[in-house]
Amino acid sequence: MDKLIQVGLTGGIASGKTTAAATLAALGAHVIDTDELARRALDPGEPAFEATVRVFGREILKADGAIDRERLGNIVFADSRQRQRLNDIVHPEVRAAWQGELIELKRAGWRGVVVVVIPLLYEVAVQDWFDAVIAVGCAETTQRRRLHERGLNEAQADARIRAQLPMPVKVERADFVAWNECSQAVLEQQMTRIWKRLESLAPAGGNISN
Ligand code: ATP
């Protein structure tokens, strides 16, 4: 591959984005996980941490001074205006970190596929930033089961699923789709097939989604 191409990887909550990205990383992609960047942005001492405590109050802090992410999650998923306030703080930090990583890769002469995992890719309308978009989808019942296994109750799962665009919309808009309803091995097979397409299309130049 003689150039750097940027691929967005999106999907619903608990649809398998992180698992799919791990397969692409094993195949040679450089993965930037914006969920991870968002988590780090809220670590104590970070500018977004300070701003979040200013906006939501010290009652979102645990005894050790870190943000209680479950408490903050329950606040923002219960009220879309509160969610917007948090997104307004965190999203610019995430974009700066992601763009910074990309600039570093380019400066180092990196060639190949950069996969950016971005759950709200269509919601924040950044699809045009990418050469191609992959959606990882699954049935809502599967999302609920996985969230339940993670310790979320029905209301918490519901609020998180409703806060995103419906899965069929993401699947319809994406250039590539992996449907994650079987084993992880089947997801790996689908990601490997998509990887081969990315590899074969990348050297041709231009926007591979055209
Ligand atoms: P989030 O939206 O919370 O970041 P995600 O889309 O990144 O989630 P993963 O973390 O990859 O999703 O997967 C959610 C959970 O489901 C994980 O515990 C993962 O191990 C499990 N999982 C993913 N795919 C499968 C599969 N095909 N079979 C069984 N378990 C799976």
pLDDT value of position 209: 42
CA 191 to centroid of ligand 1, rounded, Å: 14
Q: What gap in Å lies between CA 60 and CA 52, rounded to an integer? A: 9
CA 86 to centroid of ligand 1, rounded, Å: 24
pLDDT value of position 199: 87
Structural domain includes residue 179: yes
Q: Are strands 4-11 and 112-117 parallel, antiparallel or unpaired?
A: parallel
Structural domain includes residue 54: no
Q: What gap in Å lies between CA 61 and CA 90, rounded to an integer? A: 17
For 190, the token pair is: 């689908």
H helix intervals, 45-182: 47-56, 69-78, 80-107, 140-149, 154-162, 167-173
Q: Is the pLDDT of residue 1 over 80?
A: no
- Categorize the per-residue pLDDT at 2 as very low, low, confident or very high, splitting at 50, 70 and 90: confident
Structural domain includes residue 90: no
What angle, 0 to 180 degrees and rounded to 10, lies between the N-to-C axes of helices 154-162 and 140-149? 130
Structural domain includes residue 39: yes
Structural domain includes residue 58: no
Between 3 and 176, residue with greater pLDDT: 176
Closest C-alpha to 143, from 158, 163, 122, 165: 158
pLDDT value of position 207: 43
Contact 131, 8 (CB under 8 A): no
Q: Count of CB atoms within 10 A of residue 117's CB? A: 24
* Surface-to-core class of residue 37, CB atoms within 10 Å of its CB (0-12 exposed, 13-18 middle, 19+ buried): buried
pLDDT value of position 204: 44
CATH number, domain containing residue 30: 3.40.50.300
pLDDT value of position 202: 63
Nearest CA to ligand 1 atom 13: 16
Structural domain includes residue 59: no
Structural domain includes residue 169: yes
- Categorize the per-residue pLDDT at 203 as very low, low, confident or very high, splitting at 50, 70 and 90: low
Query: With a 6 A CB cut-off, is 137 part of the ligand 1 pocket?
Result: no
Structural domain includes residue 166: yes
pLDDT tens sequence across 12-55:
999 999 999 999 999 999 999 999 999 999 999 999 999 999 99
Q: Which domain holds residue 116?
A: 4-43+97-199
| Overall number of domains in the chain | 1
